[in-house]
């Protein structure tokens, strides 16, 4: 029997970013499991935090560079001009290997924890090139204070799970 495969996403603050605006604020790696079970590994870099113009949460611009040089060359500077199979409602990226990572405040995390929920410090989406084609991925990373970094997962975006989460959120809102 084969061993189960899981996605992986880790981030560390980059000490080299202090005083160097061109260096990424966060660095890490991601392993994304494609629909056929094949893993693809990426080096991840994030720049930010940036203030949202619409008043939303602070965000980081993220890049995903495949560790496979041939795949990295195919993804480099490629823009998507058509629909992506697992597109995210209300969220659009056009350049492969890019994403947005949002940061929750400590107050938001504490409030959720008091309500019995554990929320990730960082969450967002990315658009990457996988063997099956361009795909959106969901990102989440929780702080691991015992290890001094952030870790979580980077699964393929799932329409059904997203719809169920939106429905549960709207049911929980008082009318």
The pTM assigned to this predicted structure is: 0.86
DSSP string computed for 138-161:
EEEEEEETTTTEEEEE-PBP-HHH
Q: Judge whether 76 lies within some domain.
A: yes
Place of tokens 């790696």: 29
Question: 25, 31, 38: which is closest to 67 by C-alpha?
Answer: 31
- Encode pLDDT of 52-96 as tens digits: 888 888 899 999 999 999 999 999 888 998 888 888 888 889 999
> What value does the mean pLDDT of the chain take?
88
Question: 102, 104, 103: which is closest to 125 by C-alpha?
Answer: 102
- Encode pLDDT of 43-62 as tens digits: 999 999 998 888 888 899 99
Report, as an integer, the average pLDDT of 11-23. Answer: 85
Count of residues in the chain: 175
Q: Judge whether 64 lies within some domain.
A: yes
In the chain, the number of structural domains is 1
* Spatial separation of the C-alpha atoms in residues 121 and 149, rounded to whole Å: 11
Enclosing domain of residue 16: 8-169
Q: Judge whether 129 lies within some domain.
A: yes
* Spatial separation of the C-alpha atoms in residues 94 and 142, rounded to whole Å: 27
Number of other CB atoms surrounding residue 148 within 10 Å? 9
């Amino acid at each position: 029997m084969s061993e189960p495969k899981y996605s992986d996403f880790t981030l560390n603050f980059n000490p080299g970013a202090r005083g160097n605006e061109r260096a990424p604020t966060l660095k890490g790696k991601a392993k994304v499991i494609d629909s056929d079970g094949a893993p693809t590994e990426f080096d991840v870099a994030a720049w930010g935090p940036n203030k949202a113009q619409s008043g939303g949460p602070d965000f980081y611009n993220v890049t995903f560079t495949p560790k496979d040089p041939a795949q990295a060359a195919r993804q480099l500077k490629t823009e998507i001009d058509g629909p992506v199979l697992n597109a995210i409602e209300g969220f659009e990226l056009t350049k492969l290997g890019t994403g947005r990572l949002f940061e929750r405040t400590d107050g938001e995390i504490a409030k959720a924890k008091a309500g019995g929920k554990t929320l990730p410090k960082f969450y967002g989406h990315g658009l990457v090139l996988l063997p099956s084609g361009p795909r959106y991925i969901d990102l989440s990373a929780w702080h691991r204070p015992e290890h001094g970094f952030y870790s979580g997962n980077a699964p393929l975006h799932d329409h059904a799970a997203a719809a169920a989460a939106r429905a549960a959120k709207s049911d929980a809102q008082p009318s």
